[in-house]
Amino acid sequence: MIISKKNRVILKRILWVFIPAILVCVIGVVLIEGYMVLRLTHAARTPLYGSPRDLQVILQNPMWSDEKWKDSDGTQSVGWFFSRGKPSPTVIISHAYGENRSEFLTLSFDLWKAGYNVLLYDLRGNGQSAVDWSGLGIYEKEDLLSAIEYTKTLKGPDGRPVGDGRIGLYGVEIGGYSSIMAASQSPAVKAVAVDSVYPDISAYTKYRLKAGVGSNNLWAKLIDYPTTGKLTNFGLQLYLARRNDSETAQEALKASTGRRFLFIVGSDSGALADMTKALYDTTDSPKEFVQLNKSRLDRLYESDSAEYDARVVAFFKDALPAVAGPPGTPVQRASR
């Protein structure tokens, strides 16, 4: 078909109008997605508001040490290790997005009193972690597996391992997801307690985006569009320099037969409450589900903290029995 000169002029004018508009839209989408990815992977850091030193008077002979270890990707993790000073089960605590290890000092101390070693650490991109970005659960699972292996190397002054080979995991949100994923890959893990957890990275990305923009506005509706989710996930894959892990928490739970699970939600768990209940429903292993007044998504105080911590300790005492008794030789710093 031959296009007349007049029509060619009209077509050129149309293209000159629409091509810049399309380019502006594309650039705008790329900039918005880039901003969202940066916001997602960089949580606002909260300072530590306490340390095991605050328990010095209670402990008399302090049974804790500052620890550092290498993760599988060469980064470094930092944490506190509460030691029983003799072979005992070890519980590893993983906090939520935007939190830090100091928010779980009371739970750590209660677990220690009940007979457990406890490793309490900062997830990447949070607290005093040397890594300045969060992997939203993609890298955190591997960090937790590195932490599990690290606890096996810790010994007391008498040269004996302070762990007895049995590991318990406790985690909130990102920490909970990482705990479920790591449990399926580490035979040492015997019991897992999770609070307000999600099934996969895509679901968490959507949840976190809505938490940032609110739930009843145009942006929230745009987030629900499949295309938006795919673009954001693709952006995350590029930024994190790896593909999104394909395994889901449901698949990890099915591969974790023989372990005990506790699923916790609170009245403040929001959309994560339904996700947590759905994971509980699909779990074939021995399991418990409990709804408390508040979750650990935010710092707990006084009675809420006491009720919550007591419930978690009771779970581990039943699922991962430990002999409380007096601790062994005091440990100033675990030897490597």
Instruction: Sketch out the chain's domains with CATH numbers.
Output: 1-41+202-246 (no CATH), 52-200+248-319 (3.40.50.1820)
Separation of alpha carbons 67 and 333, rounded Å = 8
Count CA atoms within 13 Å of residue 316 on its CB side: 34
The DSSP bridge pattern shows strands 260-266 and 287-292 to be: parallel
Tens of pLDDT along 298-324? 999 989 999 999 999 999 999 999 976
How much is the pLDDT for 218? 45
Q: Which two tokens stand for residue 104?
A: 């779980």
CB count in 10 Å sphere of residue 107: 22
Output the CA–CA distances (angstroms, integers) from residue 70 to 25, 148, 315, 325, in the order listed: 43, 12, 30, 33
Chain mean pLDDT for the chain: 84
Q: Which two tokens stand for residue 155?
A: 């010994």
Q: Are 205 and 229 in contact (CB under 8 A)?
A: yes
How much is the pLDDT for 55? 77
Q: Which of 235, 227, 151, 214 is nearest to 186 (CA)?
A: 151
Q: Which of 78, 322, 278, 297 is nearest to 190 (CA)?
A: 322
Stated pTM of the model: 0.86
How much is the pLDDT for 255? 92
Count CA atoms within 13 Å of residue 336 on its CB side: 8
**SS3 label, residue 5:** helix
Q: Which of 193, 192, 161, 149 is nearest to 88 (CA)?
A: 161
How much is the pLDDT for 333? 43
Q: Which of 116, 164, 134, 109 is nearest to 37 (CA)?
A: 134
Count CA atoms within 13 Å of residue 255 on its CB side: 14
- Which residues are bridge partners to 195 per DSSP? 172, 264
3-state secondary structure 214-283: CCCCHHHHHHCCHHHHHHHHHHHHHHCCCCCCCCCHHHHHHCCCCCEEEEEEECCCCHHHHHHHHHHHHC
Separation of alpha carbons 315 and 301, rounded Å = 21
Which stretches of the chain drop beneath a pLDDT of 70? 1-36, 56-62, 212-239, 241-246, 324, 328-336
